Amino acid sequence: MESLVNPYVSVDCVLLGFDGEQLNALVVRQSGNNGEDVAGIYKLPGSLINLDENLDEAAQRVLKQFTGLSQVNMLQFKAFGGPDRLKNPEDSVWLVRFYNLNHHIDRIVTIGYTTLLRIDRKMRKLEGGYEAQWMPISELPRLAFDHSAIVDEALKAVRAKATLDVTLLFDLLPNKFTAAQLRNVMEVVLGITLDVKNFHKKLAQMPYVVPLEEKEDGVNHRAARYYKFKKLKNKHI
């Protein structure tokens, strides 16, 4: 039947990282096989799927390739598959070069995955090898393909999940954190404003947040107490 379509299938990963102040996404240069920059444009880390892997495995392969991390829970949040995903000719040219194909690709259906990461020293080091870069969500340039829309949908999905269960945000914070850091991460991810004065009261109502004896060290404002999360059970996005 002529009218059926036999597209390629890819995964694209919206890796969201919190650096203590802002929510970032990991983006990579859209460069050719030989590392040559095609269009000065960034894209999400992603890949066409391989013959022997399922969708989750493809997402884990991409995560590993770009961050070195493995066995991090990822949320499959949406599939994107309109015929207009490849409407930009530069994206098509890039695909053929990058995957070393001898034909044009008409259509790619991509499956979006997302996860929440803490940008620590190790995650900072990523900025190099694959021309990967953490960019604040609020400052993202237009991304290749429909990747800007994919980031938006990932944020919606994460917001919905974390509104239901705040403990999912644990993965974004360091092991010990201040009340201000927790408030900030909640405000940034949930898109809400929390009252500074009442936040300590709110904190006291969170059975999964435990105050530590330890306080900040070497700060030139009043040292804030550290808190840690009590793992109720192993929950991730």
Q: Which residues pair with 228 in a beta bridge?
A: 210
26 vs 75 by CB, closer to a second copy: 75
Q: What is the smallest separation between the CB atom of 136 and a second copy, expressed in angstroms?
A: 29
How far is it, in rounded angstroms, from Cα 106 to Cα 120? Answer: 39
83 vs 141 by CB, closer to a second copy: 83
Q: What is the smallest separation between the CB atom of 105 and a second copy, expressed in angstroms?
A: 9
62 vs 119 by CB, closer to a second copy: 62
Helical spans, DSSP H, in 84-222: 89-98, 121-124, 147-164, 179-190, 199-204
79 vs 210 by CB, closer to a second copy: 79
Q: Exposed (0-12), middle (13-18) or buried (19+): which is 27, by Cβ within 10 Å? A: buried
Q: How many residues in the chain?
A: 237
Q: What is the smallest separation between the CB atom of 148 and a second copy, expressed in angstroms?
A: 17
**Residues that bind a second copy in the complex, under the rule CB under 8 A:** 1-9, 48-55, 76, 78-84, 99-101, 109, 111, 160, 164
- What does the block give as tokens for 20? 């203590």
Q: What is the smallest separation between the CB atom of 3 and a second copy, expressed in angstroms?
A: 5
Alpha-carbon separation of residue 90 from 43, 133, 147, 215, 231 (angstroms): 13, 21, 14, 52, 47
Q: What is the smallest separation between the CB atom of 217 and a second copy, expressed in angstroms?
A: 41
99 vs 208 by CB, closer to a second copy: 99
